[in-house]
């Protein structure tokens, strides 16, 4: 059995932290020991991710910058490959390239983009990965798929690392997890987002038992490469409190799930700093999850955890 992968922590931001500029937010994360600044990709009230990440990289020296995750349907892979490679070159190789098939129904409806059935979106996503990995390589690319056609295009510039920056795929459904297991360097274990919105069903798909099932799929599909995969989770709620039971019951009541299921979910961190430390270590032992990304509202409260566990 391979030794535990060291902990590291990221923060997902859509805009600056309260009272900070965007550059100041990036520097604060770096100063507090966070490994990465990650951005979602929606057409709502958020900064445009690729432009904002370049500014964050320019304001820092070691902080990694990444997407969690880009919607594949919003950009052609030939265009996106150039943008990601450029960001990687200009940041000195600090990019984590998160990509998904697209899921939020409101993004499509409000923008007029066509929302194809999930299977078609995933087909297109899978082709897009093939196109971009080829464009990150050394030779001109010819590709003739069902969704994309590339004719003799040499992707430029080339990323800092051969093969491109680490690919992060967040997934919750069986097929997406299989693709992530085969293709990704970082696999984010998500609830299933097929409904296109945050709902009680989404929360119920994030229990400990559901996570057991998803990790079993990833292990089976990854085969021998499983040991090279970094496993990640995006935590939606952090509550540092002396009464974790009551806090969990309060949250569970909003979604119709028992408090004990809330406490067991890897998407939630509730308790004292000591209890949060213990929960993260238990989850790494059970699921191999070592890369924990939190929301911006928990940057200060989780800082002692980041200081204690990073690199251990």
pLDDT tens digits for range 175-221: 999 999 999 999 999 998 776 666 667 778 999 999 999 999 999 99
Question: 68 lies in a domain?
Answer: yes
Q: Is 1's pLDDT higher than 60?
A: no
Q: Is 225's pLDDT higher than 60?
A: yes
3-state secondary structure (DSSP) of residue 140: coil
What's the number of domains the chain is made of? 1
Q: Is 63's pLDDT higher than 70?
A: yes
pLDDT at 84: 98
pLDDT at 217: 97
Question: 269 lies in a domain?
Answer: no
pLDDT digits (tens, 9 = 90+) for 34-49: 999 999 999 999 999 9
Across the range 6-21, mean pLDDT stands at 98
Helices first, then strands: H and E counts in the chain = 12, 13
Across the range 82-110, mean pLDDT stands at 96
Which residue(s) pair with 95 in the sheet?
Answer: 65
Domain of 116, CATH number, reads 3.20.20.30
Cα(202)–Cα(218) distance, integer angstroms: 19
Cα(190)–Cα(143) distance, integer angstroms: 31
- Band the pLDDT of 28: cuts 50, 70, 90: very high
Across the range 222-236, mean pLDDT stands at 97
Across the range 271-276, mean pLDDT stands at 98
Question: 92 lies in a domain?
Answer: yes
Q: Is the dihedral of CA 23, 28, 33, 37 positive or negative?
A: negative
pLDDT at 10: 98
Question: 254 lies in a domain?
Answer: no
Question: 244 lies in a domain?
Answer: no
307, 308, 310, 312 alpha-carbon torsion, rounded to 10°: 160
Lowest mean pLDDT among 62-71, 209-218, 246-255: 246-255
Q: Which domain holds residue 32?
A: 8-238+287-309
pLDDT at 193: 76
pLDDT at 201: 72
pLDDT at 3: 74
* DSSP 8-state symbol, 103: -
pLDDT digits (tens, 9 = 90+) for 97-152: 999 999 899 999 999 999 999 999 999 999 999 999 999 999 999 999 999 999 99
Assess contact for 235 and 294: CB atoms under 8 A. Answer: yes
In sequence order, the 6+-apart residues with CB closer than 8 A to the CB of 110 are 43
| Exposed/middle/buried for residue 191 (C-beta within 10 Å: 0-12, 13-18, 19+) | buried
Assess contact for 129 and 98: CB atoms under 8 A. Answer: no
Q: Can you tell me which residue has the tokens 């690199």?
A: 311
Question: 76 lies in a domain?
Answer: yes
Mean pLDDT, all residues of the chain: 95
Question: What's the Rg (C-alpha) of the chain?
Answer: 19
pLDDT at 298: 98
> Which parts of the chain fold into alpha helices (H)?
22-31, 49-58, 77-90, 105-111, 118-135, 174-183, 200-204, 208-222, 244-255, 259-264, 273-287, 303-309
pLDDT digits (tens, 9 = 90+) for 282-303: 999 999 999 999 999 999 999 9
Paired tokens of 3 = 């030794």
Q: Can you tell me which residue has the tokens 């293709």?
A: 183
Question: 185 lies in a domain?
Answer: yes
Question: 107 lies in a domain?
Answer: yes
């Amino acid at each position: 059995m391979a030794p535990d992968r060291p902990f590291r922590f990221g923060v997902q931001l859509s805009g600056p932290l309260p009272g900070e500029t965007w550059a100041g937010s990036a520097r604060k994360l770096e100063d507090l020991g966070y490994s990465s600044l990650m951005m979602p990709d929606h057409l709502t009230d958020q900064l445009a991710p690729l432009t904002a990440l370049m500014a964050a990289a320019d304001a820092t020296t070691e902080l990694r910058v990444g997407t969690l995750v880009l919607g594949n349907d919003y950009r052609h892979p030939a265009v996106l490959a150039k943008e990601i490679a450029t960001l990687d070159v200009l940041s000195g190789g600090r990019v984590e390239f998160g990509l998904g098939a697209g899921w939020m129904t409101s993004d499509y409806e409000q923008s007029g983009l066509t929302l194809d059935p999930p299977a078609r979106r995933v087909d297109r996503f899978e082709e897009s990965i093939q196109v971009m990995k080829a464009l990150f390589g050394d030779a001109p690319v010819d590709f003739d798929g069902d969704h994309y056609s590339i004719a003799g295009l040499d992707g430029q510039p080339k990323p800092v690392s051969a093969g491109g920056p680490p690919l992060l795929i967040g997934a919750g459904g069986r097929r997406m997890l299989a693709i992530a297991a085969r293709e990704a360097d970082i696999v984010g274990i998500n609830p299933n987002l097929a409904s296109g919105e945050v709902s009680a069903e989404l929360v119920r798909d994030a229990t400990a038992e559901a996570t057991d099932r998803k990790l079993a799929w990833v292990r089976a599909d990854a085969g021998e490469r499983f040991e090279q995969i970094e496993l990640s989770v995006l935590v939606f709620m952090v509550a540092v409190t002396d009464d974790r039971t009551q806090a969990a019951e309060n949250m569970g009541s909003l979604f119709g799930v028992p408090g004990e299921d809330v406490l067991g979910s890897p998407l939630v961190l509730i308790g004292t700093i000591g209890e949060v430390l213990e929960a993260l270590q238990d989850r790494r032992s059970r699921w191999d999850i070592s890369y924990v990304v939190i929301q911006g509202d928990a940057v200060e409260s989780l800082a002692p955890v980041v200081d204690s566990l990073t690199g251990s």
